[in-house]
Amino acid sequence: MTRKVTKAIFPVAGLGTRFLPATKSIPKEIMTLVDRPLIQYAIDEARAAGIEEFIFVTSRGKGALEDYFDHAHELESNLRNAGKDELLAVLQSTNMDSGAIAYIRQHKALGLGHAVWCAGRLIGEEPFAVILPDDVIAAEKPCLQQMVEAYQETGGNMVAAMEVPADKASSYGVLDIREDMGALVSVKGMVEKPKANEAPSNLAVIGRYILSPNVLRNLDRKQTGAGGEIQLTDAIAQEITNSNDVYGYRFRGQRFDCGSKAGFLQATVAFGLARPELHDEFLQFLVEMTQVRKAAE
């Protein structure tokens, strides 16, 4: 019987240099997409998938991120006294129960694999999820929930995957496919950031994983890979050799790379248009902007 996935690791130690100067004073994970920080989208997705324990791998300067999950008692009291019940409900939905969150420090930026390894002692011998908050996914059913449901059938290790243009493959870990079963593919290899002409497929790994404790044991070796970093992809690929139980999952939804400025702006437009109270006014603005630009050309 496949064990239930109840723990998730959120690697949030990055400096967010692509968003300087904003990230000089605030962690990139609490930069706001419409009216919620990026980390809230990740938390909500994890909750929908049945995650009960949330492990954040942080670094120096992430205090504002940790404070975000504290109860804001004075603000809640003010909203309650003012009769602003809807806003109070929104605020309370972001609260986390005592003991649900743990924070682990990654003192050196040695790669995603190292960040996940840092949380190993809190995982033990259980399967666990990894969520990268930079990857925001708009989906009718949250991406991790889709994966958890598929994982109940497969067990082993699973990575979220999407098709990318050949010239973009060098920015991702890419799957070498053994068998294509539609939404699921069995994997015979994984290559981190291959050259465009050396990519084994156009199916790229994005920031959602369900992993076995064996991956943590593989990370114990602290072997460096692409970019001189400890790559999570390499530790997962080792399980293909050891157990032949690695799968890619083509999720249903649209992924936005909110670690880049262009991706963040694209997500802002998409999520803004998806909000009924914003849609009409925002769409009118976008149409007018487009018309002005065309006229200028």
Q: Considering the chain, what is the average pLDDT of its residues?
A: 88
pLDDT at 222 exceeding the cut of 80: no
**Per the structure, how many domains does the chain have?**
2
Residue 47 sits at φ, ψ, to 5 deg, of: -60, -45
What would the mean pLDDT of 183-193 be, rounded to a whole number?
A: 88
pLDDT at 197 exceeding the cut of 90: no
Domain co-membership, 254 together with 264: no
State the pLDDT at residue 65. 81
State the pLDDT at residue 1. 62
User: What CATH number has the domain bearing residue 90?
Assistant: 3.90.550.10
Domain co-membership, 273 together with 137: no
Domain co-membership, 213 together with 276: no
Residue 237 lies in a domain: yes
Report residue 89's pLDDT band, with 50, 70 and 90 as the boundaries: confident
Domain co-membership, 58 together with 114: yes
What would the mean pLDDT of 229-253 be, rounded to a whole number?
A: 88
Q: Residue 205 has which token pair?
A: 């790994």
Give me the domain span that covers residue 16.
Answer: 7-259
What would the mean pLDDT of 187-215 be, rounded to a whole number?
A: 88
Residue 1 lies in a domain: no
State the pLDDT at residue 15. 78
pLDDT at 261 exceeding the cut of 90: yes
Domain co-membership, 111 together with 64: yes
What would the mean pLDDT of 47-62 be, rounded to a whole number?
A: 89
Residue 219 lies in a domain: yes
pLDDT at 234 exceeding the cut of 90: no
Residue 120 lies in a domain: yes
Radius of gyration of the chain from its Cα atoms, rounded to whole angstroms: 20
Domain co-membership, 15 together with 47: yes
Residue 243 lies in a domain: yes
Residue 65 lies in a domain: yes
Question: Tens digits of per-residue pLDDT, 108-155?
Answer: 878 888 999 999 889 988 999 999 999 999 999 999 999 999 999 898
State the pLDDT at residue 226. 66
Question: Tens digits of per-residue pLDDT, 273-290?
Answer: 999 999 999 999 999 988
What would the mean pLDDT of 225-236 be, rounded to a whole number?
A: 80
Listed residue (251, 239, 224) closest to 190, CA to CA: 239
pLDDT at 190 exceeding the cut of 90: no
Domain co-membership, 13 together with 153: yes
Beta bridge partners of residue 264, listed in sequence order? none
Residue 2 lies in a domain: no
Report residue 227's pLDDT band, with 50, 70 and 90 as the boundaries: low
Domain co-membership, 227 together with 279: no
Question: Tens digits of per-residue pLDDT, 60-85?
Answer: 877 788 888 877 788 888 888 888 88
Domain co-membership, 141 together with 278: no
Q: What is the 3-state secondary structure (H, E, C) of the chain?
A: CCCCCCEEEEECCCCCHHHCCHHHCCCHHHCEECCEEHHHHHHHHHHHCCCCEEEEEECCCCHHHHHHCCCCHHHHHHHHHCCCHHHHHHHHCCCCCCCCEEEEECCCCCCHHHHHHHCHHHHCCCCEEEECCCEEEECCCCHHHHHHHHHHHHCCEEEEEEECCHHHHHHCEEEEEEEECCCEEEEEEEEECCCHHHCCCCEEEEEEEEECHHHHHHHCCCCCCHHHCCCHHHHHHHHHHHCCCEEEEECCCEEEECCCHHHHHHHHHHHHHCCHHHHHHHHHHHHHHHHHHHHHC
Domain co-membership, 266 together with 227: no
Domain co-membership, 133 together with 264: no
What would the mean pLDDT of 158-184 be, rounded to a whole number?
A: 89
Residue 34 lies in a domain: yes
Domain co-membership, 230 together with 273: no
Looking at the chain, the whole-number percentage of residues with pLDDT higher than 70 is: 97
